[in-house]
Chain A
Amino acid sequence: MKLQLNGDMIETQAAMLDGLLEEQGFTGAKIATAVNGDFVPAPARATCALSEGDRIEVLAPMQGG
C-alpha cells in the first residue's frame, strides 16, 4: 500500500502503525506519531490500522526557542 510518511510517498507492507515504524527504522526511537492530523499515542500504535493514502507524521525532539 502507498501512503505518506513525513511528506514523502512510500510503499509499505505494514498493516498497522507499529509495524510501519519498525519497517522504517524507528525501533526504540523517542518519537510521537500522528495519522491524518490526529495524535496516535504510543500504546495505540499496535491497533492503529493503516489505509491507502494515509498521512503519517513521525516527530522527534528537535532544537527550539
Chain B
Amino acid sequence: MRDFYGTTLANGFMLGTAQYPSPAILADAFRRSGASVATVSLRRESGQDRAGQDFWQMIRALDVHILPNTAGCHSVKEAVTTAHMAREVFDTKWIKLEVIGEEDTLQPDVFGLVEAARILTEDGFQVFPYTTEDLVVADRLLHAGCEVLMPWGAPIGSGLGLNNLFGLRAMRAHFPDVPLVIDAGLGLPSQAAQAMELGFDAVLLNTAVAKSGDPAGMAEAFATAIRAGQLGAAADPMEPRDMAAPSTPVIGKAFLS
C-alpha cells in the first residue's frame, strides 16, 4: 500500500459516512467494509439537540483514519475557512478539498481548487484534492504542494463508474509515483475493482454503499472487489490481443476426424 502523507493505510477503501438509513447501519457497514478511512464533514450544530456530538462519538469508535471534507464549498474562502474549522474539530491535518464549480455535475472549480490547495498547504495542511483527470490541473496541484490526487470517476452520487478510462489511465501513467484515489461516481463493486486494476491506490465512495438495499452487504462487496483489483494489478495482468490464442496445448491432440 502506498503512503498517504506518510500514513500507510491497511487497504485502499475510503468510505463516506453520509446517507445511511441509521447510525447502526452506518456502523455495521464500516465493520463489514474494513475501510481504513472515513470521510466526514462539518455542519451547523444546535445547542439544544447537539446531534453532532453523538455522531462524533460513533465515528471515533470506528477506529479509522478521519478525512474531513469541504463539501458544498463554492469559493476558495469558504473552502479554506471550512478546512481550518475542520482541522480544529477533528484534530487532523488531512483535508479532502472540494471547491465545487458547477451545480449539475458537481465538478470541481479547478482554478479555485489549485488556489485553495496552495493556501492550505502553506498553512500545514495535507490536502486530498477532489479534482478531474486533467493532467495540467494535476500538475498544478502537485506544484501547489499536494502529494495525493483524487480524480473523479464520474459525477458525485451518479453511480456511473469510470467515465473516462483513457484519461484515468493516462493520469496513472503520467504520475506513477503519486498516490491516486478515485473519488466519486462509483456505483458497483466491479467499478472499484476496475479502478484498482488500472493501478489506482484507493477508491473513495459513499452513495453506492449507503443507498444500496443492504449497505453492510454492499460495503463488504466493495471491500472484496477492491482487494481483488489490487491483487490483480500487482500480479501483472496479461496484454489483451485481438485474435484468439488456444490455451489448451495443441501438441498431443488426437487425430479423430
- Which A residues are closer than 8 A to B by beta carbons? 6-7, 21, 24-26, 29-34, 37-39, 41-42, 57-65
Asked whether, in the complex, the Cβ of A65 is within 8 Å of the Cβ of B69, the reply is yes
Give Cα A25 to B52, complex, Å. Answer: 13
- Which B residues are closer than 8 A to A by beta carbons? 16-20, 26, 39-48, 50-53, 55-56, 59, 68-69, 71, 77, 81, 84-86, 88-90, 156-157, 184, 205-207
Give Cα A33 to B42, complex, Å. Answer: 11
CB neighbours of A38 from chain B (8 A): 81
Asked whether, in the complex, the Cβ of A62 is within 8 Å of the Cβ of B52, the reply is yes
CB neighbours of B56 from chain A (8 A): 30, 60-61
A62 to nearest B CB, angstroms? 4
Give Cα A41 to B91, complex, Å. Answer: 12
CB neighbours of A57 from chain B (8 A): 44
Give Cα A33 to B44, complex, Å. Answer: 10
Give the residue of A21, A60, A65 whose beta carbon is less than 8 angstroms from that of B89: A60
Asked whether, in the complex, the Cβ of A37 is within 8 Å of the Cβ of B81, the reply is yes
Given contacts A31-B89, A42-B88, A65-B16, contact A58 B44 (CB under 8 A): yes
Give Cα A31 to B42, complex, Å. Answer: 9
B19 to nearest A CB, angstroms? 7
Give Cα A6 to B46, complex, Å. Answer: 8
B47 to nearest A CB, angstroms? 3
Asked whether, in the complex, the Cβ of B77 is within 8 Å of the Cβ of A37, the reply is yes
29 pairs, CB–CB < 8 Å, chain A vs chain B: A6-B46, A7-B44, A21-B47, A25-B47, A26-B45, A26-B47, A29-B47, A30-B53, A31-B52, A32-B84, A33-B85, A34-B81, A38-B81, A39-B81, A58-B47, A59-B43, A59-B45, A59-B52, A59-B89, A60-B52, A60-B53, A61-B89, A61-B90, A62-B40, A62-B51, A62-B55, A64-B17, A64-B41, A64-B71
